[in-house]
Amino acid sequence: MKRTIFVIAILLVVILLTKACIRQDIPENDIIYETSDNGFITKEYKQPENKTVDGIDYLVSENPVGIFGGNIVMSTIGEGPKTFNPFNSKDNISSTLSDIMYDGLVTTNPFDGKIIPKLAKSFEINGNNYIIRLRKGIKWSDGKPITADDVIFTWQNIIFDGFGNTSLRDSIMIDGKLPSVQKIDDYTVKFTTPKPFAPFLSTLSSPIAPKHVFEPAVKKGKAYFDTFNSANINPEKLVTSGAFRLTEYVPAQRVVYRRNPDYYIINQEGKKLPYLDKMVYLIVGDLNNEVLKFEGGELDVISIQGSNVARFKEMEKHSDFTVYNIGPDTGTLFLTINLNNRKNTDGKFYVEPKKQLWFNDLNFRKACDYAIDRKNIVLNIANGLGEPLFTAESLNSIYLNKELKPYEKDLNKAKQLLEKSGFYTDKKGHLRDKFNNHIEFDLYTNAGNTEREAIGVMVKQDLEDLGMKVNFKPIEFNSLVNKMVSTFNWDMVIMGLTGSPLEPNGGKNVWMSDGTLHMFNQRLEKDLNSKRYPWETEIDELFKRGALALKFEDRKKYYDKYQEIAYEQKPFIYIYSPIRTVAVRNKFKNIFPSTLGGVTHNIEEIYQEAGK
């Protein structure tokens, strides 16, 4: 759900990757897993280099020349994308499937985290000024040139003016002020931030829109823009810049892309990439169906849940795929509790008053935290391929606060905390509050994600060990997102967020009290001036200061503190960090697995062996 954003090169330091525990019957060295000195997975991968040919500024692939043709089939669970407009997407599926088609000015080296040019040919930083020089001669899919006018329009008229999902705009707001953007010439733009702002360069990875297509939609207003390029659009109408173009979308079945024949990356023979003719995402419904389709040969790539890794490793010996361990997940998996105590436009509370008393009681939240058996979840859900998580930053984050220590499940401690706040257990073993209300609430997660559904069953049992009545309700993902960020009609949710181990500011929209993903205490525009919890206000200030500090050591103290507050206040109860394991068919070459980029980060360079 939150867009992954990476950090400026100045922040690169030696990283000590936290090793996740691996069951002894699945040795770590039995899964392909290579690390560099900075802790990230690495193989011999060469980044593309700039080269100007006949006045066109190409990127040239430095990796082995491949064969043109073939298809790759991947998958996504759930019901599919809600939009193909990258500026409107609010869920991970829509973001993934729309971002395929639109490149940004920069991207991230998937092996060391450095910011490198993409649509930009080069960039330079002078204090608060960022000079971006675009590639000359490259085109949109309709043949029109990509110029500075597109960049200015995207940032000024879409992002800065608050169209679509405002998470990116909110993340770069500095003391209430936005950066400015200025056209120097047709292929040069200058961004200026109000103050030195460490994360800014990485945000330039956001997609660039074709002005001649998006401007009419912007002129019609925000309500119209919210439906522009929705999932029911005719693919032929999409004008894009990425390596692949949308050619077909069948709801609840598949999303099909074809190669962009005029992409700006070429191989060493001067031929335009990508190599593959088509890229297909099957909408598989749930994780079990995904496994069946991979085993049946319908999928070429699959992320393997921990419970299936041993079986896949055994199958690998006599099958046509390779299993890659790409390290601890860069996101977080958690239980979140609805702390909203405000009223909707009808004057009714979003959360029942009696539940407000429970959820806003720190002792209640801590009791829930102590009741969860993380080790048991890791063992039974992830088959031991993971590690309990207690912090807001992922285990491989360079900003991880290692002073925050893990702890065991402790029902006695949980019961003591509840007693402090007047909760008691009646003769039937039911937990009640001091007003004699039985503690009963709903627990949601997204249906089809069998890992989260299994976690939900275990969390339900853990909480019921305290005498609570937990109604576990997996529901369709888009409906769940709507509950969390629109209607606020929920109690507890098991959810996950993507993230970067290099840049905490990417989570600003989650942690800032006015953020668009501040899910545990979400505010509508009418609520932005409502009372904050003191710790919310403190986190607001820490994120502001963290983004303005330029040295790693200075930034880390602010991000250490925000993790400490989250650890103490429990708006999110973190569960565990799984090891990410991926299987890829051996017929595909130029596969360079990366902790930061996964296995298809260089999709334009991947090719299929002849006859396979």
The residue ranges of every structural domain in the chain are 9-47+82-225
Does the pLDDT at position 41 exceed 80?
no
Mean pLDDT along residues 314-320: 94
* Spatial distance between the Cα atoms of 384 and 180, rounded to a whole number of angstroms: 49
Percent of the chain with pLDDT over 70: 93
* Spatial distance between the Cα atoms of 50 and 369, rounded to a whole number of angstroms: 51
Mean pLDDT along residues 311-338: 92
Domain 9-47+82-225 coded CATH 3.20.19.10? no
- The CA-to-CA distance between both ends of the chain, in Å, stands at 35
Question: What pLDDT was estimated at residue 43?
Answer: 55
* Spatial distance between the Cα atoms of 459 and 374, rounded to a whole number of angstroms: 9
* Spatial distance between the Cα atoms of 560 and 542, rounded to a whole number of angstroms: 9
Mean pLDDT along residues 113-128: 93
Provide the pLDDT confidence category of residue 6 given band limits of 50, 70 and 90.
very low
* Spatial distance between the Cα atoms of 498 and 504, rounded to a whole number of angstroms: 11
For tokens 């867009």, what's the residue?
3
In three-state secondary structure terms, 482 is: helix
Encode pLDDT of 147-202 as tens digits.
999 999 999 999 999 999 888 998 898 888 999 999 999 999 999 999 988 889 99
Does the pLDDT at position 255 exceed 60?
yes
Does the pLDDT at position 3 exceed 60?
no
C-beta separation of 265 from 135 below 8 A: no
Question: What pLDDT was estimated at residue 422?
Answer: 97
* Spatial distance between the Cα atoms of 86 and 555, rounded to a whole number of angstroms: 30
Q: What's the Cα-to-Cα distance from 329 to each of 11, 17, 125, 359, rounded to whole Å?
A: 21, 11, 32, 29
| Better-scored residue on pLDDT, 14 or 578 | 578
Helix and strand counts by DSSP (H, E) for the chain: 17, 26
Q: What is the mean pLDDT of the chain?
A: 89
Question: What pLDDT was estimated at residue 524?
Answer: 84
Question: What pLDDT was estimated at residue 188?
Answer: 98
Question: What pLDDT was estimated at residue 331?
Answer: 87
The 10 Å CB-count burial string (b at 16+, else e) for 6-16 is: bbbeebbeebe
Question: What pLDDT was estimated at residue 364?
Answer: 98
